[in-house]
Structure 1
Amino acid sequence: MTSEQKLPVQAIKCPASRRREALLQLAAAYDPAQQAALSAAVKAMYNQPDAQWDGLWITIEAGQLVSAIWVQPLPMNMAQLWLPKELSSERSVHTSALLRAANAWVNVHNIRLCHLVLSPHAPASEALLVEHGMQRLACLEHLTVSSKRRLMMHEAIPLSLQPLSEFSQSEQLALLAAVGQDSLDSRPLRDVLSVEELLAGFYQQDSHAPQHWYAVGYQEVVVGVLLLAPRPAQGGWELMLMGLTPDWRGKGLGRSLLNKALELAQQAGVQEVMLGVDDANVPAKQLYREAGFVRYAQQRLLAWKGGGKGGGAAK
Structure 2
Amino acid sequence: MTFSYSSSSPEVVLCPPARRREALLQLAAAHDPKLQAALSAAVKAMYNQPDTQWDGLWVTLEAGQLTAAIWVQPLPMNMAQLWLPKQLPSEQGVHTSALLRAANAWVEAHNIRLCHLELSSQASVSEALLREHGMQRLACLEHLIGSSRYRLSMNEVLPLSLQPFGELSLREQVSLLAAVGQDSLDSRPLRDVLSVEELLDGFYQQAPQAPQHWYAVGYRDAVVGVLLLAPRPALGRWELMLMGLTTDWRGKGLGRALLNKALTLAQQAGVQEVMLAVDDVNVPAKRLYQQAGFIRYAQQRLFAWKGSGERRDLPN
Normalising by the residue count of structure 2, what TM-score does the alignment of the two structures yield? 0.94
Displacement after TM superposition at 1:233 (Å):
2.7
Distance of 1:31 and 1:285 partners within structure 2: 24
* Alignment correspondent of 1:54: 55
* Alignment correspondent of 1:168: 169
* Alignment correspondent of 1:31: 32
Q: Is the 8 A contact 2:112 2:309 kept in 1?
A: no
Amino acid at match of 1:165: G
Q: Is the 8 A contact 1:75 1:204 kept in 2?
A: no
Distance of 1:297 and 1:94 partners within structure 2: 27
Amino acid at match of 1:69: I
Displacement after TM superposition at 1:92 (Å):
2.0
Q: Is the 8 A contact 1:83 1:123 kept in 2?
A: no
Q: Is the 8 A contact 1:191 1:310 kept in 2?
A: no
* Alignment correspondent of 2:211: 210
* Residue 116 of structure 2 is aligned to residue 115 of structure 1: yes
Q: For residue 210 of structure 1, give the secondary structure of its aligned residue in structure 2.
A: helix
Amino acid at match of 1:285: K
Q: Is the 8 A contact 1:143 1:276 kept in 2?
A: yes
Displacement after TM superposition at 1:89 (Å):
4.1
Distance of 2:98 and 2:272 partners within structure 1: 45
Distance of 1:57 and 1:24 partners within structure 2: 13
Q: Is the 8 A contact 2:197 2:312 kept in 1?
A: no
Displacement after TM superposition at 1:91 (Å):
5.4
Aligned residues: 308
* Alignment correspondent of 2:151: 150
Q: Is the 8 A contact 1:143 1:293 kept in 2?
A: yes
* Alignment correspondent of 1:297: 298
Q: How does 1:39-78 map to 2 (within 5 A)?
A: 39-78=40-79
* Alignment correspondent of 2:102: 101
* Alignment correspondent of 1:84: 85
Displacement after TM superposition at 1:10 (Å):
2.9
Distance of 1:310 and 1:251 partners within structure 2: 34
Distance of 2:42 and 2:212 partners within structure 1: 21
Distance of 1:169 and 1:231 partners within structure 2: 25
Displacement after TM superposition at 1:48 (Å):
1.2
* Change in CA separation of 1:106 and 1:133 when aligned onto 2, cut-off 3 Å: same
Q: For residue 105 of structure 1, give the secondary structure of its aligned residue in structure 2.
A: helix
Distance of 1:18 and 1:261 partners within structure 2: 46
Task: Report the identity percentage.
Answer: 77
Q: Is the 8 A contact 1:134 1:303 kept in 2?
A: yes
Please report the RMSD computed on the Cα atoms of aligned residues, expressed in angstroms. Answer: 1.5
Distance of 2:212 and 2:65 partners within structure 1: 46
Amino acid at match of 1:163: P
Displacement after TM superposition at 1:309 (Å):
4.0
Q: Is the 8 A contact 2:149 2:264 kept in 1?
A: yes
Q: For residue 124 of structure 1, give the secondary structure of its aligned residue in structure 2.
A: coil
Residue segments in structure 1 that go unaligned for 5+ positions in a row: none
* Alignment correspondent of 2:258: 257
Q: For residue 182 of structure 1, give the secondary structure of its aligned residue in structure 2.
A: coil
Distance of 2:300 and 2:93 partners within structure 1: 23
* Residue 189 of structure 2 is aligned to residue 192 of structure 1: no
**What's the CA shift string for 1:139-182, capped at 9, x where partnerless?**
11111100000110011111111111111111111111111110
Q: Is the 8 A contact 2:210 2:231 kept in 1?
A: no
**What's the CA shift string for 1:176-198, capped at 9, x where partnerless?**
11111100011111110111110
Distance of 1:83 and 1:207 partners within structure 2: 26
**What's the CA shift string for 1:44-81, capped at 9, x where partnerless?**
11111111111111111100101000111112211111
Q: For residue 161 of structure 1, give the secondary structure of its aligned residue in structure 2.
A: strand
Distance of 2:66 and 2:261 partners within structure 1: 51
Normalising by the residue count of structure 1, what TM-score does the alignment of the two structures yield? 0.94
